[in-house]
Amino acid sequence: MTRSPASTPIRTVSLDVDSTLAGIEGIDWLAARRGPEITSEITSLTGAAMSGASRLEDVYARRLNAVRPSLRDVDALGRAYCESVATGARECVAALSSANIRVLVVSGGLRPALLPLARLLGLSERDVHGVELRFAADGSYAGFDATSPLTQDGGKSRVLRLLVSGLPRAILHVGDGMTDATTRDVVDSFAAFTGFVTRNNVVALANFTVNSFAALQAAVLRNETRA
C-alpha cells in the first residue's frame, strides 16, 4: 500500500544505498568475486539482517571477514555502484538540491566504495556516511571500523541523531531494510523503497512507499510546494 508523506514540508532527505540508490548489495557483490560457496553464505546473512531476522552486528564482521575485500575489490565495487545506479536517482537528487532540500547518504555500506556514487550524484563527500575500511600497504584487507554504529542494528538512527541538530527539518529517510525502518525514532518520516526489493515488514513500518526515484521526487516536491 502506498501512503502519502506527512503534511510538513521535507527539507532533508537521507538515502540508503544498497538496493535503494543502487540495484546491488555491496558485500554480496564482493562475495560473488570469491565463488559460489562464499556467495551463498553472504547473501543469506545479508538477507537475514535486512529482513530483521538477524541483528546486523551479528553478521557484519562475519561477512567482511569472509570476503576480505582488497583495495582493488573496493574500487571495482565503486564502479559497480555507479553502473547500477537506480533509474532516475541522478535526476531526483538534482531536483531536490535545486529546491534547497539537503540530500545525504546514510548507509551500512563501505564508504570508500560509496564515494564514486556520491560524486556521480553530485553529493558532497561530507554528506556520505558509511563504514570505513583499513588496508595494508599492498592494498590487502586489514579490517574495518568496528566502532562505527553503522555496523549495528539501530546504527542509522544513531548517526542521524548525531546529525539532526545540523539538518533542516522535516527529515525523511528512504531505504529498503529494517536497518532503515529503525530510523523512525529520529526522523520525521520514513519511506520504504521497493524499486529493487519489497520487504513487507519494512513497508508496514513506513509512512509511505515509493517504487522509483521519480515517485520519490514527485512525493517530496509535491509535499514541499504545500509550504
- CA-to-CA distance for 111 and 114, rounded, in angstroms? 5
* Whole-number pLDDT of residue 7: 63
- CA-to-CA distance for 223 and 5, rounded, in angstroms? 7
- Grid coordinates standing for 106? 546514510
* Whole-number pLDDT of residue 1: 36
* Whole-number pLDDT of residue 180: 96
For the chain, 227 residues long, the average pLDDT of each consecutive 10-residue run is 61 98 96 92 89 87 93 98 98 98 97 98 97 98 96 94 96 96 95 97 96 98 65
* Whole-number pLDDT of residue 54: 86
3-state SS assignment for residue 152:
coil
- Scanning the chain, the segments in alpha helix (DSSP H) are 26-31, 36-51, 56-67, 71-83, 89-98, 111-121, 155-163, 178-181, 200-205, 213-224
- The domains of the chain are located at 12-224
CA distances from 146 to 6, 62, 130 (A): 36, 12, 12
Domain 12-224 has CATH 3.40.1800.10: no
- CA-to-CA distance for 28 and 174, rounded, in angstroms? 21
pTM to 2 decimals?
A: 0.91
Percent helix, percent strand, percent coil in the chain, to nearest 5: 50, 20, 30
CA distances from 27 to 32, 46, 149, 163, 202 (A): 9, 8, 17, 26, 21
* Whole-number pLDDT of residue 224: 61
Q: Which of 24, 47, 21, 43 is nearest to 34 (CA)?
A: 43
Return the exposure string of 36-54: e unless at least 16 CB atoms fall within 10 Å of the residue's CB, then b.
eebbebbbebbbebbebeb
